[in-house]
Structure 1
Amino acid sequence: MKLLLTSGGIRNDSIREALVAMLGRPIAQSRALFIPTAQWGQPMCSPQSVYDATVDRWGDDPSLTGLGWKSVGVLELTALPSIAEERWHPWVREADVLLADGGEAVFLATWMRESGLADLLPTLADTVWVGVSAGSMVMTPRIGREFVDWRPDGTDETLGLVDFSIFPHLDYPGWDENTLEAARRWAPQITGPAYAIDDQTAISVVGGAVEVISEGHWELLHD
């Protein structure tokens, strides 16, 4: 699987070009599945926010679903345990890209495991995973206590499909808890590499090679 781990989505030409290169074809010729599951674990999200993200009504910038795909479907992970694998596995295998929305990363990791999607991912060699915020953080080993909102007394461990952690939304306007100083306080609890990235930045992982793609601000806090 190829990973494009973003903070705020496809916000600039550099990130978009990286996405097209991973797909190996134009966005307009690519089939997408949108995963809104992480929102249900985030107290600040709601049915309205899930709807807005799904139908591309999420602020001024296009959401993941509004990039001009050939087709977009919704894959709700909490429903999958009640559906036979032979029904939903083909949906995933036929998609060119999986679009994982933001929300709560530990909740998303839990349902990726419970649904069986986490076990299926390693078999999807050519599929692209595009994450926004929690949809990116879910691929890391840990997210840090600051980002645990679903079960505050529970684990901060996620899937660990990459060996680095991500502090997203760096210096987002009005978010005092997402400053560089806050990221530097967050980093010591993370034992592996840790990146702070803003919404104009993404991290690509293809064949084990990690590359930062940015038209904004990012920092490798420790390696």
Structure 2
Amino acid sequence: MKLLLSSAGVKNPSIRAALEALLPRPVGECTALAIPTAMYGHPWAGPGRNVWEFAAGRSAEPMVELGWRSVGLLELTALPSIPADRWVPLVRETDVLLASGGDAVYLAHWMRQTGLADLLGELTDTVWFGMSAGSMVMTPRIGEEFVGWEAPDGGDETLGVVGFSIFPHLEHPSLPTNTLAAAEAWQEKLGNPAYAIDDDTAITVVDGDVTVVSEGRWRHLAG
């Protein structure tokens, strides 16, 4: 699987170019599935209007509204109640999975519950395009500062597809506590490498190679 891990979707031409480089065809010829599940686990994000805005392509963080040939909706909380053969083939044939922000622990829980987490390793040509929690879910841990939903077994562990954690929305004007100093203190408690990224920054991961794409501010925090 190819990863594009962003803080806030496609916020500038550099992130758009990085996405296009990962896709097998131009955006207008690619199919996408939008995954809003993380939003339900976050007290600020859902349910309600924000979920609809993401799915309808009317949010301030462009993902769904990029001109895909088609966009479907994959709500993970519904999948355990239907046969796998109704949704697994759809995921396999889709070019890009668009994972919204919200709560990364909640998203990781439902990815495990549905089997989507186990399926990721087989999707070698698929692009996972995450925003905020949709990016953080691929990391080993998110830190207690970002946990809004408590998993049945507790903890802040996510899927561990990559070996680093992500501190999103660095120095965002609406999030005055998301400072670089706060990110450094957060990473020290985690103990593993991390990236602090603002909304004009994203990270690509292809075959283990990590590249930062940015028109803003970011910092690699060594573990």
**TM-score, scaled to structure 2:** 0.96
Task: Please identify, of 48-57 and 133-142, the stretch whose mean Cα deviation from structure 2 is larger.
Answer: 48-57
Q: Residue 206 of structure 1 aligns with which residue?
A: 206
Q: Residue 145 of structure 2 aligns with which residue?
A: 146
Tell me the alpha carbon deviations over residues 4-36 of structure 1, each in whole angstroms, 9 at most, x when there is no partner: 000010111111111111103111010000000
3-state SS of 2:156 partner: coil
**TM-score, scaled to structure 1:** 0.96
Instruction: Tell whether 2:153 aligns with 1:175.
Output: no
Which structure shows the higher helix fraction?
A: 1
Distance (whole Å) between structure 2 residues aligned to residue 177 and residue 145 of structure 1 = 14
CA shift at 1:138, angstroms? 0.1
Alignment of 1:1-223 (within 5 A): 1-46=1-46, 47-59=48-60, 63-151=62-150, 154-223=154-223
Distance (whole Å) between structure 2 residues aligned to residue 210 and residue 174 of structure 1 = 29
Distance (whole Å) between structure 1 residues aligned to residue 26 and residue 114 of structure 2 = 30
Task: Please identify, of 2-11 and 179-188, the stretch whose mean Cα deviation from structure 2 is larger.
Answer: 179-188
Distance (whole Å) between structure 1 residues aligned to residue 174 and residue 213 of structure 2 = 24
Task: Please identify, of 180-189 and 163-172, the stretch whose mean Cα deviation from structure 2 is larger.
Answer: 180-189
Superposition RMSD in Å? 1.2
Unaligned 5+ runs, structure 2:
none
Distance (whole Å) between structure 2 residues aligned to residue 70 and residue 154 of structure 1 = 40
CA shift at 1:134, angstroms? 0.1
CA shift at 1:191, angstroms? 2.0
Distance (whole Å) between structure 1 residues aligned to residue 174 and residue 113 of structure 2 = 35
Tell me the alpha carbon deviations over residues 194-218 of structure 1, each in whole angstroms, 9 at most, x when there is no partner: 1100000001000110111111100
Distance (whole Å) between structure 1 residues aligned to residue 23 and residue 189 of structure 2 = 35
Distance (whole Å) between structure 1 residues aligned to residue 14 and residue 118 of structure 2 = 31
Aligned length, in residue pairs: 221
3-state SS of 2:177 partner: helix
Distance (whole Å) between structure 1 residues aligned to residue 38 and residue 58 of structure 2 = 18
Distance (whole Å) between structure 2 residues aligned to residue 182 and residue 189 of structure 1 = 11
Tell me the alpha carbon deviations over residues 89-141 of structure 1, each in whole angstroms, 9 at most, x when there is no partner: 11101100000000000000000000110011100000000000000000000
Distance (whole Å) between structure 2 residues aligned to residue 163 and residue 82 of structure 1 = 32
Tell me the alpha carbon deviations over residues 53-92 of structure 1, each in whole angstroms, 9 at most, x when there is no partner: 1112213x5x311000000000000011111111111110
Name the amino acid aligned to 2:83: A
CA shift at 1:192, angstroms? 1.6
Unaligned 5+ runs, structure 1:
none
Distance (whole Å) between structure 1 residues aligned to residue 51 and residue 86 of structure 2 = 24
3-state SS of 1:38 partner: helix
